[in-house]
Structure 1
Amino acid sequence: MKKLVFVLALSLGSLTAFAQDTDEAQVDATEAVAAQDDFSEISASELPEAVTAAVAKNYPTATIDKAYVNEAQQYKLEVSLEDGTSGTLYADENGNWIEM
């Protein structure tokens, strides 16, 4: 009987410790994602003319839904097309498309 109580206590303790580690891992993963996305939202009217011209030239049916900028003056644009598709584009301050 003592062995049974000991095994139950040990099992419960290890499950609790595992659950705590999982919670901490989720917090760390969330912080890592937030650290990678260092863009700040701006209004579409704040975009450089070169960026809006590049969107108009390459995606004439696109509407800029949201715009973001980072410290390197790179712009993240969430756009939607007339056909209902949407996507994310990245451009530098001169209107050149970049890979992120």
Structure 2
Amino acid sequence: MKKLILSAAILLGGLSMQAGVVDVANTMTETVKFQDEYKEVDAVPAAIKTALDNAYPGVKLEKAYVNEKKEYKIEITVRGEKSTVYTDAQGNVLKK
């Protein structure tokens, strides 16, 4: 019986010695989103509306933004899916 108690004490003592302080470094990454200074507008040129209607049948314009270069950022909904399209003033789709 003494051997059983002694072996249990040694086993538990050995386990408690394994626990130690772990130094965890705080690694925080800062992310910065860069936006091309788009400003919200109420209306877009007719050429853009026509181009979007031809490219995406059933398109619904949600919001429109324009920057200094007269490039438009247009948030649209097509068949329930939201998307963002970039165009120029003539309605040509830009790759961004």
TM-score by shorter chain over 0.5: yes
**Which residue pairs with 2:37 in the alignment?**
38
Q: What CA RMSD, in Å, does the superposition of the two structures yield over aligned residues? A: 2.0
Q: What are structure 2's unaligned runs of at least 5 residues?
A: 1-22
Alignment of 1:78-93 (within 5 A): 78-81=75-78, 83-93=79-89
Indicate the structure with greater strand content.
Answer: 2
Q: TM-score, normalised by structure 1?
A: 0.62
> CA shift at 1:36, angstroms?
2.8
The alignment-based identity, stated in percent, is 31
Write out per-residue CA displacement over residues 59-96 of structure 1, whole angstroms, 9 at most, x where no aligned residue. 12010011111110000111101x31121111100111
Aligned pairs, number: 75
2-structure distance, mates of 1:87, 1:47: 17
Q: What are structure 1's unaligned runs of at least 5 residues?
A: 1-10
Query: Which one of the candidate residues 49, 52, 56 is aligned to 2:53?
Result: 56
Q: TM-score, normalised by structure 2?
A: 0.65
